[in-house]
């Protein structure tokens, strides 16, 4: 093998090791933080139980096709959990920058994009773990999913949602100096994105001006895709949802890698 071929092979090996190391580090950090796991599940479960019970007690949702309000809400709550976990995953960049870990890892002869990719994969894996746990807990609470195959397919949707928002979180964290500033930005973003996504209501009867905002919200397509895979209904064709999610994920991962590469660390 030529020197050029050996050098290319070595570069690929180094990039893979960097991505894997950062992914594993995020997994170990998540495993050791029991309070983080409990806290990440408590709020979504509160929404599911309280809102589902309130809706079931107060009115019968129109056009539900026999599906309970727990079933309607479950995909939205799962999407909410993925959103929160993925966006806040960017805070690890701020922590690592403050403690000097990023400077140490950037000594490796590998483009910064692969460092961002490793942290993104770690963040989205933890988000998927939380989303999967919520899906199973909702099942135990009585939510009727259409099939086990649909439940498996929903994990692919969770991956796309997580990649999209973790990329956005990395881009924002790369230019944010403090945890407080990052949390303020996250609060400003997450509430409108969540409330306009159709996680808690059907979008068909909304006024036109609000529908426009809903269709501009990337989480909308994630929620609709989860509803399709889990309970077999969606207000937006599934092929459109998947295309929108893939484009969103590719765009934000690319943006996150670019901004991280240009940031002063």
What is the predicted pLDDT for the residue at 40? 66
Q: 233-258, pLDDT tens digit by residue?
A: 899 999 999 999 999 999 999 898 88
Stronger pLDDT, 169 or 50, i.e. the higher one: 169
| CA-based nearest residue to 85, from 118, 52, 119, 124 | 124
Q: 25-38, pLDDT tens digit by residue?
A: 888 887 777 666 67
What is the predicted pLDDT for the residue at 260? 82
CA distances from 62 to 55, 68, 214 (A): 12, 11, 20
The C-alpha atoms of residue 199 and residue 222 are separated, in whole angstroms, by: 10
pTM across the whole model = 0.84
Please say whether the dihedral angle defined by the alpha carbons of residues 171, 172, 173 and 177, taken in this order, is positive or negative.
positive
| CA-based nearest residue to 231, from 161, 160, 138 | 138
Stronger pLDDT, 240 or 187, i.e. the higher one: 240
DSSP 150-171: HHHHHHHHHHHHHHHHHHHHHH
Question: Which residue bears the tokens 């929620």?
Answer: 223
DSSP state of 192: H
The C-alpha atoms of residue 106 and residue 82 are separated, in whole angstroms, by: 28
Tokens linked to 25 = 């580090």
What is the predicted pLDDT for the residue at 62? 47
Query: 180 falls in which pLDDT band (50, 70, 90)?
Result: confident
Query: Helix/strand/coil (H, E, C) string of 55-124?
Result: HHHHCCCCCCCCCCHHHHHHHHHHHHHHHHHHHHCCHHHHHHHHCCHHHHHCCCCCCHHHHHHHHHHHHH
The C-alpha atoms of residue 133 and residue 28 are separated, in whole angstroms, by: 18
């Amino acid at each position: 093998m030529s020197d050029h071929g050996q050098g290319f092979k070595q570069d690929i090996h180094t990039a893979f090791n960097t991505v894997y190391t950062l992914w594993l580090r995020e997994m170990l950090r998540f495993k050791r933080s029991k309070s983080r796991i409990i806290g990440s599940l408590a709020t979504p479960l509160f929404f599911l139980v309280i809102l589902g019970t309130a809706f079931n007690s107060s009115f019968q949702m129109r056009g539900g096709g026999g599906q309970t309000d727990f079933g309607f809400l479950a995909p939205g709550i799962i999407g909410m959990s993925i959103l929160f976990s993925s966006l806040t995953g960017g805070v690890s960049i701020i922590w690592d920058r403050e403690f000097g870990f990023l400077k140490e890892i950037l000594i490796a002869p590998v483009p910064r994009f692969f460092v961002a990719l490793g942290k993104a994969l770690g963040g989205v894996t933890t988000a998927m773990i939380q989303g999967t746990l919520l899906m199973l807990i909702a099942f135990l609470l009585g939510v009727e999913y259409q099939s086990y195959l649909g439940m498996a397919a929903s994990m692919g949707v969770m991956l796309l949602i997580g990649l999209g928002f973790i990329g956005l979180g990395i881009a924002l964290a790369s230019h944010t100096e403090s945890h407080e500033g990052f949390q303020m930005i996250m609060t400003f973003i997450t509430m409108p994105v969540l409330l306009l996504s159709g996680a808690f209501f059907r979008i068909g009867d909304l006024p036109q001006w609000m529908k426009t905002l809903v269709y501009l919200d990337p989480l909308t397509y994630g929620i609709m895709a989860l509803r399709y895979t889990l309970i077999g209904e969606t207000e937006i064709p599934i092929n459109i949802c998947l295309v929108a999610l893939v484009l969103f994920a590719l765009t934000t991962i690319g943006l996150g890698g670019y901004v991280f590469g240009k940031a002063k660390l």
